[in-house]
Structure 1
Amino acid sequence: MLLIGIPSGLENGMFQLGKILVQSLVATFGTYAIAANAVSNNIAQMMIIPGSAIGLALVTIVGQCIGAEEYDQAVYYIRRLMKQAYVWMIILSLSAIILSPILLKMYSLSEESTSLATKCILIHGLAGMIIWPISFTLPNALRAANDAKFTMIVSICSMWTFRYLLSFYLGRTLALGLVGVWLAMIVDWFIRAFFFIYRYRSGKWKNKRLV
C-alpha cells in the first residue's frame, strides 16, 4: 500500500503546491485576471468530469486485471475506457465552449474579465478534449499496475518545469498574462502525455507487480 500510496501522495501534494504558487502569479495580473481565472477554472472542472470519473474506474478495473495476470484484458479495458473518456470529454468541452457566453453572464463579470475568461475556456476546451485524457486518465491505469513511481517523477518534473516556470516566462516575461499561464498548463499536459503514452506502449508497466 505504501509503495503505491507514497508516490501518489507526493505527486498530488506537489501538484497542489504548484497550483497555489501559480495562483500567486495570477494574483499579480490584477483583479480582472483573478476573477477570469476563478470562473474559467470552475467551467474547466465541469469539462473534465468524464475523464476524472473514468480515471477512478480504471484504477479498480486495471488493478483487478493485473492482479489476475490478465494483461490482455487490462489493455482491452484501458482502450475501451479511454475511448469513452474522449467521447464524453469532447461532448462536454464543445458544449462548454458553445455555451460559454451564457455561462459567463451568470457570473456578472466585467467586460475585461469576460473576454479573458472566454479565451481561457477556449484554450482549455480545445486542448482538453485532445490531450487531457492521456495526461490524467491514462496514468491511473499505470498507477493501478504499480507503476506509480514513474507517474510521480513525470508529473512532478513536468509540473515544476512547465506549468510553474513556463507560466512565469509566458505570463510575466512575455507579458501574456493569464493567457500565458493557461498556455503553460497546456504545454504541461502535452509533456505528460508524451511520457505516459510512451510508457504505456512500451509495456513496462506490466512488469511492476507488488506480490
Structure 2
Amino acid sequence: MRIGVPYGLENGIFYFGRLLILSLVSTFGTAAIAANSVGSTITSLQALPGMAIGLGMSIVISRCVGAGDFTQARYYTKKILGIIFVAQIVSSVISLALFPSILSIYHFSAEAMQWTTEIVWSHAIVMILIWPFGNALPSVFRAAGDAKYPMVVSMITMFCCRIIFAYVLVYLLDMGMFATWIAIYCDWLIKGGLFIWRYVNGKWTKFQATELNGRKAE
C-alpha cells in the first residue's frame, strides 16, 4: 500500500493533467487536435522501450534492495539506464525513418503536417537526452520503498510545468499549440534534475519495503 497508493495517485494526477492539456490544444482547432493526436501516438511508440525496460528495472532493483546490497542496486541502475538510452535511440531512429510514410496515410493539411513534424522530431530529441531520468529513474525509488518522493515531485511538476507553464506560454506569450509540448519537456527536465539529486544524495537507500509484521520483505 505504501508503494502502490502513491504510484496510483501519481498516475491519476498525470491523466488529469493530460485532460487539461488536451482541452488547451482543442482551442487551436481541428488541425491542432489531429496533429496532437497523431503526434502523441507516434511519440508513445518512441517511448515504449523505455517504459517496458523501466518496469523490469523495478524488479531487479527491488531484489537488490531486499538483499541489502545497494552496491548492486546502483550498478544495475546505471546499467539499465544505459540500456534504456540505447533502446530509445533505436526506437526514435526507426520512428523518424518511418515518419514520412506514416504521415502520408493521414492526408493532413500543411498546418497539421508541420505541427506533427515538430512534435515527433522534438520529442525524439528531448526523449533521448532526458526522458530516462524523469520517467525511468523513479522506478528505482519505488523499488526501494521510497514511493512518496516521486509522487510529490511528479504532482508538483505536473501542475507547475505541464499545466500552469503551458497556459502561460499559450495565452501570455502566444506561442501556439506547440507550447504545450515545450511545457512537457520542461516537466521532464525539472523532474529529471530532482530525481538525479535524490539518487546521488542516497536518501532513497534509507527506505525499505517491509511486511506488516516488521520483517524485511523477501
Smaller-chain TM-score bracket: over 0.9
Gaps of at least 5 residues in structure 1 are none
The offset of 1:146, in angstroms, is 0.8
Task: Choose 164-173 or 146-155, whichever is displaced more.
Answer: 164-173
What pairs up with 1:154-165 in 2 under 5 angstroms?
154-165=153-164
Aligned to 1:79: 78
Aligned to 2:2: 3
The offset of 1:137, in angstroms, is 0.8
What pairs up with 1:5-84 in 2 under 5 angstroms?
5-84=4-83
Letter of the structure 2 residue corresponding to residue 110 of structure 1: S
Normalising by the residue count of structure 1, what TM-score does the alignment of the two structures yield? Answer: 0.96
Aligned to 1:131: 130
> Aligned partners of 1:177 and 1:196: how far apart in 2?
30
The offset of 1:88, in angstroms, is 1.0
Output the aligned Cα RMSD.
Answer: 1.0
> Aligned partners of 2:201 and 2:56: how far apart in 1?
23
Gaps of at least 5 residues in structure 2 are 211-218
The offset of 1:191, in angstroms, is 0.4
Aligned to 1:116: 115
The offset of 1:94, in angstroms, is 2.6
Aligned to 2:206: 207
Letter of the structure 2 residue corresponding to residue 162 of structure 1: C
Normalising by the residue count of structure 2, what TM-score does the alignment of the two structures yield? Answer: 0.93
Task: Choose 169-178 or 185-194, whichever is displaced more.
Answer: 169-178
Percent identity for Structure 1 against Structure 2: 38
For the residue of structure 1 that corresponds to 2:2, the secondary structure is helix
Whether the aligned pair in 2 keeps the contact of 1:123 and 1:183 (CA below 8 Å) is no
Aligned to 1:191: 190
> Aligned partners of 1:58 and 1:68: how far apart in 2?
16
Letter of the structure 1 residue corresponding to residue 114 of structure 2: S
Query: Is 1:146 aligned with 2:145?
Result: yes
Query: Number of matched residues?
Result: 210
> Aligned partners of 1:85 and 1:97: how far apart in 2?
18
The offset of 1:183, in angstroms, is 0.5
Give the ranges of 4+ consecutive aligned residues of structure 1 lying more than 3 Å apart after TM superposition.
Answer: none
Aligned to 1:175: 174
Greater C-alpha radius of gyration? 2
The offset of 1:103, in angstroms, is 1.7
Q: Which has the higher helix share?
A: 1
> Aligned partners of 1:184 and 1:29: how far apart in 2?
17
> Aligned partners of 1:58 and 1:136: how far apart in 2?
12
